[in-house]
Structure 1
Amino acid sequence: MQEFAPPLTFSALVTTLRAAGCVFAEDEAELLQATAADPAALATMLERRAAGLPLEHVLGWAEFCGLRISVDPGVFVPRRRTEFLVRQAAALSPAPAVVVDLCCGSGALGTALASALDGVELHAVDVDPAAVRCARRNVGGLGTVHEGDLFAPLPRSLRGRVDALLANVPYVPTGDVALLPAEARVHEPRVALDGGGDGLDVMRRVVAEAADWLAPGGSLLVETSERQAARAEETVGSRGLGARVVVSEELYATVVIGTRPR
């Protein structure tokens, strides 16, 4: 007679997660139990998490701005700190608004902003085919997801019409990528992390074209680190945009905003 292992108890989940180094083991155990379809699925999910996969890849989703965003394996996981960028964009955007989400990953930023505002025309872009597939599920009928490098795949008709240009570009300096936690370094695409020598290479490419795409009064919003903020602000301002830095100490988030003059 075949013997079956008993279902995992909450205590067993927590013990295994703690042993794997999960700081919030109790919270993660609750999420695994709530998401698993059956005991076999729960055991598989626990095994994957204990092996070091990001929790969001194990669950298949991440919570972002109150939404459940699908996150496939190998796709960049939206960070809670980036909710600050979305809130800033929502405060600046008119209604209706034309929104572009560059380096969109799962499409979390554009989806969240389009869900918060009425009448958004949303376009999201990513160079990674896996991210594009994931973003298309999240964006759904809220907008269009394009595959390609930065502005290249966008319709030319958007030039001069974009009210909010969200650019959650990679900003980790190349030399620091190896220092990232394994969850990011091993399981997220390097193209979503590596920002070049000083971490600002992709941002510079975005800023170089941003003014041509922004509507009068439209804003570019870029997430960066505290130590990069001054250089990022200078770069944004050098392209004719009114630049400023906004910070959330609560979320440890730094955003550079560049606004095209009216």
Structure 2
Amino acid sequence: MPLPDPRPVVVAALRAAGCVFAEDEAELLLAAARTPGELADLLDRRTRGLPLELVLGWAGFRGLRVTVEPGVFVPRRRTEFLVGQALAQVPGASVVVDLCCGSGAVGAALADALGPVELHAADIDPAAVRCARRNVARYGGQVHRGDLFEALPDGLRGRVDVLAANVPYVPTGEVGRLPAEARDHEPLIALDGGADGLDVLRRVAAGAAHWLAPGGRLLVETSERQVPTALAIFGDSGLSARVAVSEEWSAHVVIGTPGFSPPAAPAR
């Protein structure tokens, strides 16, 4: 006698827990579980509020399954727009840096699309560094731990074609209003961008011109209301800047390229 289909029970439990895409999530949980016991465990973790990506151990990002671990920022689908802009701006990039890399999703997606590249990723959080190493290994990428540019090898100065920096940009006072999945399960350092949300963006913009190759691009995601200030910050840092917008993803990416010779490189 065939066993009853567990889908209706799983969908009902997910709906009761407030999961908007209960049917889609049920399919993923069912595919991941090898036994009824595993399914029960996965379902329990999800209905108790653990992000789906952490329940599964991966997040979908530009067609890739990116490994994610507890305590690591989960890549957002809207950040795929940043990757697309980088590919459009510098289609022949050979040196790519994923700064504030988190899981390394951006760097992995760029390397996957570009083919053989010299890929570097960096993050200050040791959990992120461990996770990113798993995701960029297949592309021969190197992951460095440290505070922004301090983490990078000096040999990259003036050679970077794509500098993608998915910086934290939530103002400190708004972190508490984030969805519980982010607020309760992701590291504060990956969310909190300071009083106006742009503290880390300022530091990245200030140093970028010394690392970019001629024709290289810095790409940073931000919010719609932060765009005017972000553009001004880029300009003050010696970068010609523009913004790209995706209405579909509600995504805003500020794109900068060195507009003139920068002053002497600051001490690291």
Query: TM range, normalised to the smaller chain?
Result: over 0.9
Q: Which moved more, 1:94-103 or 1:167-176?
A: 94-103
Question: 1 CA distance for matches of 2:193 and 2:180?
Answer: 18
Aligned residue number for residue 67 of structure 1: 64
Following superposition, the deviation at residue 7 of structure 1 comes to: 7.8
Residue 225 of structure 2, aligned match among 219, 222, 227: 227
Partner of 2:151: 153
1:125-204 correspondence to structure 2 within 5 Å: 125-142=122-139, 143-204=141-202
Structure 2 length-normalised TM: 0.93
Amino acid at match of 1:20: A
Q: Please report how far the alpha carbon of residue 153 of structure 1 lies from its aligned counterpart in structure 2 after TM superposition.
A: 1.6
Equivalent position amino acid for 2:164 in 1: L
Report SS of the residue matched to 1:46.
helix
In terms of mean alpha carbon deviation, does 168-177 or 231-240 score higher? 231-240
CA distance in structure 1 between the aligned counterparts of 2:122 and 2:38, rounded to whole angstroms: 33
Where in structure 2 are the equivalents of 1:1-262 lying within 5 Å? 9-142=6-139, 143-261=141-259
**Amino acid of the structure 2 residue aligned with 1:133:** R
Letter of the structure 1 residue corresponding to residue 17 of structure 2: A
- The amino acid across from 1:72 in the alignment is E
Q: Secondary structure at the match of 1:218?
A: strand
1:105 Cα deviation (Å)?
Answer: 0.4
Amino acid at match of 1:44: D
> Structure 1 regions of 5+ residues with no counterpart?
1-5
The aligned counterpart of 1:3 is none
Q: Which runs of 5+ in 2 are unaligned?
A: 261-268
Q: How far apart are the structure 1 equivalents of 2:126 and 2:137? A: 16
More deviation, 228-237/192-201? 228-237
Question: How big is each residue's C-alpha offset from its partner over 1:77-126, in whole Å with a ceiling of 9 and x where there is no partner?
Answer: 10000000000111122535111000100000000000000331100001
Cα pair 1:64 1:112 within 8 Å, conserved: yes
* Cα distance in 2 for residues equivalent to 1:203 and 1:43: 42
SS in 1 for 2:95: strand
Count of aligned positions: 257
* Aligned residue identity for 1:61: W
What is the alpha-carbon distance in structure 2 between the residues aligned to residue 7 and residue 108 of structure 1?
38
The one-letter code of the counterpart of 2:212 is: L
Counterpart contact for 1:104–1:125, Cα < 8 Å: yes
SS in 2 for 1:250: coil
2:39 alignment partner, SS class: helix
Alpha-carbon distance in structure 2 between the residues aligned to 1:7 and 1:167:
48
Q: Secondary structure at the match of 2:213?
A: strand
Please state whether the residue corresponding to 1:169 is helix, strand or coil: coil
Query: Helix, strand or coil: the match of 1:220?
Result: strand
